[in-house]
Amino acid sequence: MTPAPNPSPERTVLRARARGEVSAADSFEELYALHSGSVRAWLRSRVPAATAEDLMQDVWLVFHDRWRRWEFRPEMEAEEARPVLSFLFRTCHFVLRGHFRRRELRGELPIEAADDVDAPTGILRMERAADAGNALRLAERVCTAEERDVLLAKLAGVPAREIAGALGITEAVVDHRFRDALARLKSRLAPKPRARKGGGRG
Amino acid sequence: MAERALLKQLEAEWAAETRALAEARPAFLSSGRPPIAATPLALAAQLEGILERWQAVRGSAEGFAERYANAAWTVKDMVGHLATWAAEFRRECETVLRGEGFDYAIPFALSILGPNEWNNRQAEAQRSVPLRALLDAFEADTRFLQDLVLSLPEPALYGEARLPLAPSGDPQALFRGSIAMVVLGKCTHDAYHIGRLAALFERWSR
């Protein structure tokens, strides 16, 4: 008999909260400890670190409010479901949209240039930025912002359907962007063929 | 590099980085103030969530327009109710911004959930409006409020004013609140009704 797979840490918290074994306040802090790293990394891949910290508060304020009225639905029990992580990913992108829209309304940037002008800090901590061969750092350089959004959501474990909903694209596009990101990284990380000694001119 | 190896590397790097970027509790829990999701970006994000859910139910609302959502109202009436309130929330914000007062009240009467009498009067008034127009009006008013919260200076967003809501039922006892509170109220109101509609459509589609 195959043992049942271990539930994800998120599901463990959700179940405990649904059964009333843990308070809304304590479970909120558990979820914060569990997902704050992902939320911060998603934001930092889009905006500078100081801005990311401000937006982080907005994302968690929205979740804090929602968590008090959280609806525990049966489909959230599915093995691959990550309802809280998905909610945070969606909220993250709503907050980012609002951030760029606010700058646009203030005349700080044209609509199309929103992503380019607001140079992101990067997913990685600064001290690790020099790591050679780090695929995440490479993704910051070679993948488009749209590909990175999908790649980082997938790495965090957000289901494709939720990524599609949050970004306003289809699941097929999610898959396409993910494959494109991997292909770019693969080709850059592939060992370069050694140059022949003595050059090629004979 | 093989794809599987690359994925493993990415997963390991992501796990290490997110562990390093994680922290125990958000700053707002230590601020001493009750955490309310009423910052401009939090309000805009909640309205975006409403619009996303609205898009998800829009098609079904057109398909089930004439079915009864409860004993008194059809789905179209419910959409009309949401559109009526979207327009009312917008009007309240615009009136407050102009520094004017309200020459009407919305008493909650003896209702627990909301101002029934006012709601029924408004439902009656919008019955002749085509469904598509109601759906579009809700969306436009919600987008308007979204841009409003993002563009207003803080004193204007959080300044207190007398609003037309009369929760006690006494039309003279008007509620005091800010534009931020009006928008927060809209988010709660809309999320409740759109959630109810979504649940109904899911059941009817089975």
B25 touches chain A (CB under 8 A): yes
Q: What is the pTM of this model?
A: 0.89
Answer yes or no: is A130 within a domain.
Answer: yes
Answer yes or no: is B149 within a domain.
Answer: yes
Answer yes or no: is B88 within a domain.
Answer: yes
**Chain B residue with Cα closest to A26:** B25
Answer yes or no: is B12 within a domain.
Answer: no
Answer yes or no: is B1 within a domain.
Answer: no
Name the B residues in 58-87 with CB < 8 Å from any A CB. none
Query: Domain tally for chain B?
Result: 1
**Could you tell me which of A44, A191, A62, A39 has the C-alpha nearest to residue A121?**
A44
- Residues spanned by the domain of A22: 9-189
Please, what is the Cα angle at A131 between B12 and A57, to 5 degrees? 65
Percentage of chain A beyond pLDDT 90 is 66
Chain A residues with CB under 8 Å of B13 CB are 134-136
B18 touches chain A (CB under 8 A): yes
A59-94 pLDDT per residue, tens = 999 999 999 989 888 877 787 889 999 999 999 999
Query: Domain tally for chain A?
Result: 1
Answer yes or no: is B53 within a domain.
Answer: yes
Q: Residue A112: pLDDT band by 50, 70, 90 thresholds? A: very low
Copy the structure tokens of residue A23.
């308070």
**B28 and A61: CB-CB below 8 Å?**
yes
Chain B residues with CB under 8 Å of A34 CB are 22
Give the span between the Cα atoms of A126 and A118, in whole angstroms.
Answer: 18
Q: What value of ipTM does the predicted structure carry?
A: 0.90
Answer yes or no: is A202 within a domain.
Answer: no
**A102 and B42: CB-CB below 8 Å?**
no
Give the span between the Cα atoms of A155 and A135, in whole angstroms.
Answer: 12
Answer yes or no: is A104 within a domain.
Answer: yes
- Best probe of the A interface among B3, B9, B13, B33, by most A CBs < 10 A, is B13
B26 touches chain A (CB under 8 A): yes
Answer yes or no: is A113 within a domain.
Answer: yes
Give the span between the Cα atoms of B206 and B198, in whole angstroms.
Answer: 13
Chain A residues with CB under 8 Å of B150 CB are 98, 101-102, 105
Residue spans of alpha helices (H) in A157-200: 160-167, 171-189
* DSSP code string of A81-105: --HHHHHHHHHHHHHHHHHHHHHHH
- Residues spanned by the domain of B180: 38-205
Answer yes or no: is B157 within a domain.
Answer: yes
**B35 and A58: CB-CB below 8 Å?**
no
What is the CATH classification number for the domain harbouring B74? 1.20.120.450
Answer yes or no: is A147 within a domain.
Answer: yes
Answer yes or no: is B116 within a domain.
Answer: yes
Answer yes or no: is A4 within a domain.
Answer: no
Answer yes or no: is B4 within a domain.
Answer: no
pLDDT means per 10 residues in chain B (206 residues)?
90 95 92 89 98 95 95 93 96 97 84 74 88 97 98 96 89 92 96 95 94
